[in-house]
Structure 1
Amino acid sequence: MDMIKPNLLVMATILTIGATVALSGCSRYNKDQTAHTVPTLANLQATQNVFDDQASRNNGAWGAVYMTKEELRAPPANIVNISLIPKMTQDAKLQKWLTKFEGSSEGKKGFITTNGKKLYDDSCAGCHMQDGKGAQGAGYYPPLANNSKMESKYYIISVVVNGLRGMPSFHSMMSDAQIAAVTQYVHSDLNHFTDIVTAANVAQLRHDFPPGSDPSE
């Protein structure tokens, strides 16, 4: 029996595999055999169900949005009866703080007193401490007592008017007389310097462009 030549054996194998692939390919794209149709994006879009808004909301896909389109088109309505909210003038806790800071429930901004110590206690002592010795912890609050910088009344006025680093500006919260009073307290009572601080001194440094609410401005 003659042996099949190697070259003929290789060719026969290639032809057999090719025929199998061709037949397989034809069967995949046979219109009568839809079960073997390769899924495409167009096919998926054609068979996609209509999007259900409510089901999507129920599944949490819309986060905190729970209003239907009809509800969104409806005229806005208050969900809280404002008439049941107590007025600020009836709030006992608010009155307590208004008394402490001598504020007003009628919308007045800033302080009323011109007592330098009270102004310091209410607006400065929280950071620089009541004795003016400052504090250090999560932040650094420099001492105002026994501080040679406090010898210049104009330096104190400038810092109070404009703020400095983390300290806010009191430009819009204190009048010239009030800034003069708290400056006098820091200058004389905490440091024993003897210059007289007047509202006119403050007016010299006050300007028409107060710093922003951010101390860095």
Structure 2
Amino acid sequence: MDIITMKNRTPKMLTVTLIAAMSLALTACSQNEEAETIASKQDAVTAIDNQASRNNGAWGGVYMTREELAAPPTNIVDQSSLPVMEDDPELAKWQAKFEIVDPVTREQQTNAFVTTDGKKLYHDSCAGCHMHDGKGAYGAGYYPPLADNEKMESKYYTIGILINGFRGMPSFHMMMNNEQMAAVTQYVMNDLNDYKAEVTAADVEQLRHANPPGYDPSE
């Protein structure tokens, strides 16, 4: 094509010619091989295993010996070194304290306590809030005194609170049987106060009902 012919062509014709040339070039490329794209590069990346990264000591502030790094992958806290829950000496201590498990047969108890000793029941379950001397306390909340408290003269008042709970105090409906509630009520009346009335399991039975409150005192 000579110079005169090129000069005579309009800009519109030149544009059409360039577009046609580019289309031919792209078609040739697609026929030869699939073009590499950003998406295809991402598909080729291997997913990162964060757990393996941690186990291999890659976290900052975690230092491992060559022997530890060569060992089979494991958690930073080696669970195999932890005692089985049932054999945990700390758990056994608290189970014995609160008699959750029978100390002889190791069977789960229906109630939270085994003893019918009112003094032990009080000091294990009540003194944490009302104090061992029964004088109550102020702190994150108000824990009313049970000692020198004229309300304790009514055994049914105390039994009713043990069964149903009261405000922030939980219900002991599912944790103590009738004999145990009678025993702790007797201790509160006789030892923390000077009331001589006898408290029996039959007294508790009169107030016990079949619909215990939830464990949350607000229920």
CA gap of 1:89–1:193, structure 2 versus 1, over 3 A, is same
Matches within 5 A, 1:76-87: 86-87=83-84
Aligned counterpart, 1:91: 88
Structure 2: give runs of 5+ residues left out of the alignment.
Answer: 1-37, 49-74
Within the candidate set 165, 174, 188, 1:172 is matched to 174
Question: Matches of 2:150 and 2:95 in 1, distance apart?
Answer: 35
In the other structure, the counterpart of 2:28 is none
Matches of 1:53 and 1:159 in 2, distance apart? 66
Q: Distance in 1 between matches of 2:165 and 2:107?
A: 27
Pair 143,84 (structure 1): closer, same or farther in 2 beyond 3 Å: same
Q: What is the TM-score normalised by the length of structure 2?
A: 0.61
Aligned to 2:213: 211
- Residues in 1 aligned to 2:194 and 2:82: alpha-carbon distance in whole angstroms: 50
Report what 2:183 is aligned to: 181
**1:87-107 CA-partner distances (Å, limit 9, x unpaired):** 344222222222222231533
**Partner SS, residue 198 of structure 2:** coil
Q: 2:118 aligns with which of 116, 119, 132?
A: 116
Displacement of 1:81: 10
Q: Deviations over 1:157-176 (max 9, x none)?
A: 00001000000000000000
Is the counterpart of residue 157 in structure 1 residue 159 in structure 2?
yes
Q: CA deviation at 1:213?
A: 1.2
RMSD: 3.4
Partner of 1:106: 107
CA distance in structure 2 between the partners assigned to 1:172 and 1:83 by the alignment: 36
What is the alpha-carbon distance in structure 2 between the residues aligned to residue 189 and residue 122 of structure 1?
Answer: 16
Amino acid in the other structure paired with 2:108 = G
**Aligned residues between the structures:** 157
Distance verdict in 2 for CA 1:83–1:205, change over 3 Å: farther
Whole-angstrom CA distance in 2 between matches of 1:163 and 1:53: 62
Shift, 1:197, TM fit: 0.4
Paired with 1:139 and 1:199, the residues of 2 have a C-alpha distance of: 32
Note the C-alpha offset of 1:179: 0.3
How far did residue 148 of structure 1 move? Answer: 0.6
- 3-state DSSP class of the match of 1:193? coil
TM-score by length of 1: 0.62
Write the deviation string for residues 137-178 of structure 1: whole angstroms up to 9, x where unpaired.
Answer: 221000000001000000000000100000000000000000
Identity %: 61
The residue type paired with residue 151 of structure 1 is: E
Q: After superposition, give the CA deviation of every residue in 1:20-66 in whole Å (9 maximum; x if it has no partner).
A: xxxxxxxxxxxxxxxxxxxxxxxxxxxxx7596999x98xxxxxxxx
Once residues 164 and 131 of structure 1 are traced to their aligned partners in structure 2, the CA distance between those partners, rounded to angstroms, is 21
3-state SS in 2 of match to 1:93: helix
User: Please, which runs of 5 or more residues in structure 1 have no aligned partner?
Assistant: 1-48, 59-78
